[in-house]
């Protein structure tokens, strides 16, 4: 668009036509205050804080609703403007309670800031304030009516941003109130966006209210540990008797791929960390009972038993199960440990998507994967399978807001009438289980169309023209999608194996098409990329193919190992002598008969006692992803930092435990973790009296452009190796450390053995569940309980 | 939920007047209330689904307008104006008289469901103040005696 020139406070400003005055001012560093204006939400013009003087206009104008015009001369900083803003603050304070000392928002309240800026501390209004009791609208949302300044941000973010429309405004004038959709409570997705966006303390969170003050916390921006979208969540932590306690999750750091967005899990479901039943001591089975022991005793025992198993029965007698929630460094280290030290390729994890098939299909097609940011900017999106609203809340947000703000065209193919259908330009309902056939049909196999019908082709969307598409046929749909450009093709776990190749084939016929494969857990993609497969090394490198990994590591068995079900069978026949489970619950997840492992020596690293620890010989208390450093790769392939926020004394990171076990087995730790390069100083003291010291050193070193890597427990040493050896991970380290997301390219190196699609078991989580981990979140449980209870419709009318 | 044919006719016609469906909400609510007496949850749900709105949207609009109600009212809704012209000419006394006579307060309903009472803002009868409105009928230049006759007249209508 053509540029428009204006003058603001004597400064020349040039901005594209159509820019709002408030944004034009912001672009040159002139702050125009506002409550109701929020970028990317509809304009409200309710608070009148952004009043500015525009020459030739008789009265002060609201900068948030004024579009800039050529030659406009604007004054944002004059006595008249100040007086107007002061008057607005004074009116807002008229009935605003003076409970800042106990209000959650105190210290980060926009009304407080404005009062300091424009000074309206003295009130001429002497009447008693109109008080109303606070209301609980849901387990996580509380409403304190008198604090509300009626900016309507919450109403708009819930409706426009989330497409939930659970909040409204009732009554009028001074009687106006924000109202929930079910008379006295909310029925919604519990995302907490309304709380985060509230400029004051009118909406507060059940998880955080009255717990602490903002300035008493340290804020750590890290990556969420729940679904595979990889939102950046800012955790507020403070010291507690057991280490560092996470008190709050929010997204005050808006630099992440999620921008303004966080769902309930990212915002509230950190509370598993401080549960009473968290393991804080290693447990060793003695006389049939798990009894507390010391770390030394535990590592010594594990080292001895693993060594015996390897020496007496060979590596094939040992199985390893990795995790979808441990960092890339831990996953890489685990498979390296398995292959190099345990001498086994029997390594697997809970697979939720067929990434190896995607990598193989994309061979020779670099740059064909979409990042999470691409989903927000792509002009067209094809979504096959999955229900992102439930399973990938950020992805759903990106799609929804791309359609709303950029008019992207969304094509949805699903067996169910999913919520994103409302944004779809075209929707095809196909019978469940035929998604793969649909992919083949897209790729040009017309015979696959049979059995896809009866297709309830229908259309959602605002335009009346949409009804024309009622008659959408399969062929018409395919032609329409094929005609798009820069299409992002998103598919769920319904599409596996050869069907992915079909989609890639279809995509190669669309200009600029990119693919996005949906897995279910925070680091599912990382687990796959880092080679938690019996026949694939990191970067989907076939184990049988000698290459740089074999050269670098030396002596790695080249025969493919056992998959998880094969390990179970091996244990049943008494061949599997040892099983090492890191951060997973295979017994609970796959309903494995626990007696199968009665002949095996089982070691489990976990936070809690699970179905799998019930049959363990040794249980090691593990730190979770909020308590360690490293990197996660989200389902799109965006690599992001995981930063240590909380700490529970008595637990160790999986990284440290793997290294300690290797050491106890007599392995050369230097070969496993290339740390230090000659320096042997150990800064890994992250517990006891020296607690936090390593972190402080790390901060200093990072600030000086150095990285510690002086301890064998330092994941950055492994990150070096990952970046050196895993194709696609050669991203900018500087940007990564600075906290930016870095898209890794999925580079198919060689076509590895096709994976059995039956090994993929989708997590089937919804908005309020999160695998085994979700069980331990009090907030998620209380919300689920609340939703399952059928609310009694009361007859009381609002007035 | 069934409305009268007349309602359906009006509704269908109104839809053609505006570019978006939601624009017909306010008149529709008024017509629906005229038929059903008040806007029940059932009516709200029905209109919300017809106009592709949430029930919350419909409630928000209802709460804005004092003439729309979600609570049952008496057969005759007595609205006494106490704005400035009526107040100067005895509107407040008139309201107090009605309260005593009917035994109910502002927004109350008599136990027999015959009358409701409401204190309202200007109804445009200033030239003939004090004025009151019963449903859609205006009664002007009222005195307490005249008000009694008005109320009796309505009471008789029912028994007759």
A711-720 exposure pattern, b = at least 16 Cβ within 10 A, e = fewer: bbbbbbbbbb
Residue B131 has pLDDT above 80, yes or no: yes
Residue A436 has pLDDT above 70, yes or no: yes
Q: Is A170 on the interface with B (CB under 8 A)?
A: yes
Q: Is B59 on the interface with A (CB under 8 A)?
A: yes
Residue A552 has pLDDT above 50, yes or no: yes
Q: What is the pLDDT of residue A471?
A: 39
Please give the C-alpha separations between residue A453 and each of A239, A259, A475, in angstroms, as whole numbers.
Answer: 59, 40, 12
Residue A262 has pLDDT above 50, yes or no: yes
Question: B22, B43, B64 — which closes off a domain?
Answer: B64
The answer to whether the CB atoms of B56 and A797 lie below 8 A apart is no
Q: Is A747 on the interface with B (CB under 8 A)?
A: no
Query: Residue A21 — pLDDT band, cuts 50, 70, 90?
Result: very high
CB B150 within 8 A of CB B137: no
Q: Give the separation between CA A652 and CA A281, rounded to whole angstroms.
A: 10
For A504, phi then psi, to 5°, come to -65, -40
Residues of B in contact with A172 (CB under 8 A): 63-64
Q: Give chain B's mean pLDDT.
A: 94
Mean pLDDT of A607-624: 96
Residue A478: exposure state from Cβ atoms within 10 A (0-12, 13-18, ≥19): buried
3-state secondary structure of A75: strand
3-state secondary structure of B76: strand
Residues B93, B149, single domain; the answer is yes
Residues B57, B108, single domain; the answer is no
Residue B63 has pLDDT above 60, yes or no: yes
- Candidate from A36-50, A118-132, B41-55 with smallest mean pLDDT: A118-132
Mean pLDDT of A598-610: 95
Q: What is the pLDDT of residue A493?
A: 94
Q: Is A798 on the interface with B (CB under 8 A)?
A: yes
Q: Which CATH class is domain A91-205?
A: alpha beta
User: Which one has a higher pLDDT value, A372 or A747?
Assistant: A372
Query: Residue A8 — pLDDT band, cuts 50, 70, 90?
Result: very high
- List the single residue in B54, B57, B59 with the smallest CB-CB distance to A798: B59
Domain that holds residue B12: 5-64
Query: Residue A694 — pLDDT band, cuts 50, 70, 90?
Result: low
The answer to whether the CB atoms of A171 and B64 lie below 8 A apart is yes
Q: What is the pLDDT of residue A753?
A: 65
Q: What is the pLDDT of residue A662?
A: 97
Residues B101, B149, single domain; the answer is yes
The answer to whether the CB atoms of A165 and B63 lie below 8 A apart is no
Q: Give the separation between CA B69 and CA B109, rounded to whole angstroms.
A: 13
Residues B149, B83, single domain; the answer is yes
Residue A690 has pLDDT above 80, yes or no: no
Query: In this structure, what CATH number is given to the domain that contains residue B83?
Result: 3.40.30.10
Residues B145, B84, single domain; the answer is yes
CB A91 within 8 A of CB A115: no
Q: What is the pLDDT of residue A463?
A: 42
Residue A450 has pLDDT above 90, yes or no: no
Structure tokens at B23: 């624009």
- List the single residue in B64, B69, B71 with the smallest CB-CB distance to A172: B64
Residue A482 has pLDDT above 60, yes or no: yes
Q: What is the pLDDT of residue A681?
A: 42
Q: What is the pLDDT of residue A687?
A: 46
Q: Which residue of A has its CA nearest to B69?
A: A799
Residues B125, B99, single domain; the answer is yes
Concatenating the DSSP letter of every residue in A263-322 gives -HHHHHTTGGGG-TT---S-EEEETTEEEE--HHHHHHHHHHHHHHHHHHH-GGGEEEE-
Residue A14 has pLDDT above 50, yes or no: yes
* Domain A355-517 superfamily per CATH: Dimethylsulfoxide Reductase, domain 2 (3.40.228.10)
Mean pLDDT of B77-86: 96
Question: B36, B64, B92 — which closes off a domain?
Answer: B64
pLDDT, tens digit, for every residue of A654-688?
999 999 999 999 999 988 998 765 443 444 444 44
Q: Is B106 on the interface with A (CB under 8 A)?
A: no
* B70 domain-assigned: no
Residue A707 has pLDDT above 60, yes or no: no
Q: What is the pLDDT of residue A708?
A: 58
Residues of A in contact with B59 (CB under 8 A): 168, 170, 179, 798
Residue A18: exposure state from Cβ atoms within 10 A (0-12, 13-18, ≥19): exposed
3-state secondary structure of A217: coil
Residues B132, B81, single domain; the answer is yes
Query: In this structure, what CATH number is given to the domain that contains residue B50?
Result: 1.10.10
Is A3-77 a domain of CATH 3.10.20.740? yes
Mean pLDDT of A199-209: 95
Q: What is the pLDDT of residue A636?
A: 97
Residues B80, B154, single domain; the answer is yes
The answer to whether the CB atoms of A168 and B70 lie below 8 A apart is no
For chain A, give the percent of residues with pLDDT over 90. Answer: 76
Q: What is the pLDDT of residue A364?
A: 85
* B60 domain-assigned: yes
Structural domain count of chain B: 2
Question: B64, B89, B114 — which closes off a domain?
Answer: B64
The answer to whether the CB atoms of B64 and A797 lie below 8 A apart is no
Q: Is B152 on the interface with A (CB under 8 A)?
A: no
Q: What is the pLDDT of residue A453?
A: 64
Q: What is the pLDDT of residue A594?
A: 86
Q: Is A501 on the interface with B (CB under 8 A)?
A: no
Q: Give the separation between CA A373 and CA A741, rounded to whole angstroms.
A: 10
| Chain A interface disruption, residue of B29, B36, B37, B63, most A CBs within 10 A | B63
Q: Give chain A's mean pLDDT.
A: 89
- List the single residue in A166, A179, A793 with the smallest CB-CB distance to B60: A179
Q: What is the pLDDT of residue A124?
A: 81
- List the single residue in A168, A797, A799 with the smallest CB-CB distance to B56: A168
Q: What is the pLDDT of residue A795?
A: 40
For chain B, give the percent of residues with pLDDT over 70. Answer: 99
Please give the C-alpha separations between residue A756 and each of A297, A527, A753, A759, A771, in angstroms, as whole numbers.
Answer: 40, 17, 9, 6, 22
Query: Residue A547 — pLDDT band, cuts 50, 70, 90?
Result: confident
Q: What is the pLDDT of residue A787?
A: 84
Q: Give the separation between CA A253 and CA A633, rounded to whole angstroms.
A: 19
| pTM for the whole structure | 0.90
Query: Residue A440 — pLDDT band, cuts 50, 70, 90?
Result: very high
Instruction: Judge whether A91-205 and A283-354+524-677+703-756 match in fold.
Output: no
**CATH number of this structure's domain A283-354+524-677+703-756:** 3.40.50.740
Structure tokens at A713: 């427990």
Q: Give the separation between CA A520 and CA A772, rounded to whole angstroms.
A: 13
pLDDT, tens digit, for every residue of A334-345?
999 999 999 999
CA distance B141 to chain A (A): 31
Domain boundaries, chain A: 3-77, 91-205, 283-354+524-677+703-756, 355-517
Radius of gyration over every alpha carbon of chain A, rounded to an integer in angstroms: 28
Q: What is the pLDDT of residue A125?
A: 80
Residues B108, B58, single domain; the answer is no
Mean pLDDT of A17-26: 96
The answer to whether the CB atoms of B63 and A166 lie below 8 A apart is no
- List the single residue in B41, B60, B71 with the smallest CB-CB distance to A168: B60
Q: Is B19 on the interface with A (CB under 8 A)?
A: no
pLDDT, tens digit, for every residue of B88-125?
999 999 999 999 999 999 999 999 999 999 999 999 99
Residue A472 has pLDDT above 90, yes or no: no
Q: Is B63 on the interface with A (CB under 8 A)?
A: yes
Residues B81, B153, single domain; the answer is yes
Q: Which value does ipTM take for this structure?
A: 0.84
Q: What is the pLDDT of residue A153?
A: 96
Residues B151, B92, single domain; the answer is yes
* B69 domain-assigned: no
């Amino acid at each position: 668009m053509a540029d428009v020139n204006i003058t603001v406070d004597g400064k020349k400003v040039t901005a594209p036509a159509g820019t709002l005055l408030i944004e034009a001012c912001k672009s040159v560093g002139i702050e125009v205050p506002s409550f109701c204006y929020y970028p990317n939400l509809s304009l409200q013009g309710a608070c009148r804080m952004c009043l500015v003087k525009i020459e030739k206009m008789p009265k002060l104008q609201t900068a948030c609703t004024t579009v800039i015009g050529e030659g406009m001369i604007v004054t944002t900083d004059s006595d008249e403007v100040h007086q107007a803003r002061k008057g607005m603050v004074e009116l807002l304070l008229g009935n605003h309670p003076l409970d800042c000392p106990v209000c959650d928002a105190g210290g980060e309240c926009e009304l407080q800031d404005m009062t300091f800026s424009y000074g309206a501390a003295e009130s001429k209004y002497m009447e008693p304030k109109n008080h109303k009791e606070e209301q609980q609208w849901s387990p996580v949302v509380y409403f304190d009516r008198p604090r509300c300044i009626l900016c309507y941000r919450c109403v708009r973010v819930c409706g426009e941003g989330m497409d939930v429309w659970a909040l409204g405004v009732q009554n009028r004038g001074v009687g106006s109130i924000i109202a929930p959709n079910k008379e006295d409570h909310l029925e919604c997705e519990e995302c907490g966006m309304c709380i985060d966006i509230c400029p004051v303390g009118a909406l507060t969170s059940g998880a955080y209210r009255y717990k602490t003050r903002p300035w008493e916390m340290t804020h750590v921006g890290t990556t969420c540990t729940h679904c595979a979208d990889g939102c950046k969540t800012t955790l507020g932590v403070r010291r507690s008797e057991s280490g560092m306690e996470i008190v709050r999750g929010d997204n005050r750091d808006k630099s992440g791929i999620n921008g303004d967005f966080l769902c309930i899990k990212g915002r509230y479901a950190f509370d598993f960390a401080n549960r009473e039943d968290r393991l804080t001591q290693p447990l060793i089975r003695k006389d049939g009972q798990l009894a507390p022991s010391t770390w030394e005793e535990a590592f010594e025992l594990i080292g001895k038993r693993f060594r015996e198993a390897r020496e007496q029965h060979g590596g094939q007698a040992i199985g390893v199960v990795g995790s979808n929630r441990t960092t890339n460094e831990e996953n890489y280290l685990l498979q390296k440990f398995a292959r190099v030290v345990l001498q086994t390729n029997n390594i697997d994890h809970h697979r939720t998507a067929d990434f190896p098939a995607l990598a193989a299909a994309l061979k020779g097609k670099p740059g064909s994967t979409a990042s999470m940011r691409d989903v927000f900017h792509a002009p067209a999106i094809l979504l096959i399978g999955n229900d992102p609203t439930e399973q990938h809340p950020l992805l759903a947000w990106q799609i929804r807001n791309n359609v709303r703000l950029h008019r992207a065209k969304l094509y949805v193919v699903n067996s169910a009438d999913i919520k994103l259908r409302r944004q779809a330009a075209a929707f095809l309902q196909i019978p469940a289980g035929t998604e793969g056939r649909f992919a083949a049909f897209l790729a040009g196999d017309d015979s696959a169309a049979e059995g896809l019908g009866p297709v309830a082709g229908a259309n959602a969307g605002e335009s009346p023209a949409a009804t024309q598409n009622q008659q959408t046929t399969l062929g018409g749909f395919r032609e329409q999608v094929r005609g798009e450009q820069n299409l992002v093709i998103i598919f769920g776990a319904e599409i596996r194996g050869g069907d992915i190749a079909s989609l890639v084939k279809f995509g190669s016929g669309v200009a600029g098409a990119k693919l996005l494969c949906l897995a279910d857990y925070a680091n599912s993609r990382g687990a796959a990329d880092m080679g938690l497969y019996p026949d694939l090394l990191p970067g989907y490198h076939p184990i049988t193919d000698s290459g740089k990994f074999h050269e670098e590591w030396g002596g790695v068995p080249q025969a493919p190992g056992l998959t998880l079900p094969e390990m179970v069978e091996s244990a049943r026949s008494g061949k599997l002598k040892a099983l090492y489970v890191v951060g997973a619950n295979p017994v609970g997840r796959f309903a494995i008969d626990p007696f199968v492992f009665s002949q095996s020596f089982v070691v489990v690293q976990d936070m809690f006692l699970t179905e799998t620890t019930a049959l363990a010989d040794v249980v090691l208390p593990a730190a979770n992803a909020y308590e360690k450093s490293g990197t996660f790769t989200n389902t799109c392939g965006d690599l992001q930092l995981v930063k240590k926020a909380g700490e529970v004394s008595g637990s160790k990171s999986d990284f440290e435990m793997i290294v300690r076990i290797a050491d106890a087995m007599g392995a050369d730790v230097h070969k496993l973790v290339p740390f230090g390069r000659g320096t042997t100083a150990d800064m890994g003291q992250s517990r006891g009296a020296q607690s936090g010291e390593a972190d402080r050193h790390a901060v200093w070193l990072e600030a000086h452009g150095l990285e510690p890597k002086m301890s064998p427990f330092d994941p950055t040493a492994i990150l070096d190796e990952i970046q050196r050896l895993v194709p696609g991970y050669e991203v900018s380290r500087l940007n990564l450390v600075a906290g930016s997301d870095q898209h890794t390219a999925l580079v198919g190196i060689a076509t590895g053995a096709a994976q059995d699609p039956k090994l993929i078991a989708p997590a089937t989580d919804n908005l309020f569940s999160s695998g085994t981990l979700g069980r331990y979140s009090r907030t998620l449980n209380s919300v689920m309980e609340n939703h399952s209870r059928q609310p009694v419709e009361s007859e009381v009318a609002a007035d | 939920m069934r409305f009268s044919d007349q309602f359906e006719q009006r509704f269908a016609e109104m839809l053609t007047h505006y570019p978006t469906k939601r624009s017909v909400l306010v008149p529709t609510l008024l017509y629906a209330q005229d038929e059903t007496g008040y806007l029940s949850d059932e009516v709200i749900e029905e209109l919300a689904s017809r106009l592709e709105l949430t029930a919350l949207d419909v409630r928000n609009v209802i709460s804005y307008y004092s003439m729309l109600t979600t609570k049952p009212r008496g057969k005759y809704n007595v609205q006494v104006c106490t704005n400035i012209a009526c107040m100067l000419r005895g509107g407040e006394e008139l309201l107090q008289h009605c309260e005593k006579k009917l035994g109910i307060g502002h927004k109350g309903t008599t136990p027999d469901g015959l009358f409701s009472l409401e204190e309202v803002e200007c109804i445009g009868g200033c030239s003939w103040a004090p004025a009151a409105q019963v449903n859609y009928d205006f009664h002007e230049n009222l005195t307490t005696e005249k008000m009694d006759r008005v109320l009796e007249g309505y009471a008789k209508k029912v028994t007759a």
